[in-house]
């Protein structure tokens, strides 16, 4: 059971990191401006 929990946690971590990466590379599609990006988010850019 612990293995399933560990796999789920790894999957969720990868999903969260990829979401951060995509958010760091894009702008808001509903508002046509780029809000000020937090400095911690800049380290996730490619």
Supply the pTM of this predicted model.
0.54
Long-range contacts for 36-42 (Cβ within 8 Å, ≥24 apart)? none
Distance between CA atoms of residues 2 and 44, nearest Å: 30
pLDDT tens track, the chain, 46 positions:
667 778 889 999 999 888 877 777 776 666 666 667 667 766 766 6
Is the CB of residue 20 less than 8 Å from the CB of residue 45? no
Integer CA distances (angstroms), 42 to 6, 16, 24, in order: 28, 15, 7
What is the model's pLDDT at position 40? 74
């Amino acid at each position: 059971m612990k293995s399933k929990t560990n796999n789920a946690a790894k999957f969720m971590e990868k999903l969260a990191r990829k979401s951060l990466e995509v958010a760091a590379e894009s702008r808001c599609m509903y508002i046509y401006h780029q809000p000020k990006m937090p400095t911690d988010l800049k380290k996730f850019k490619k």
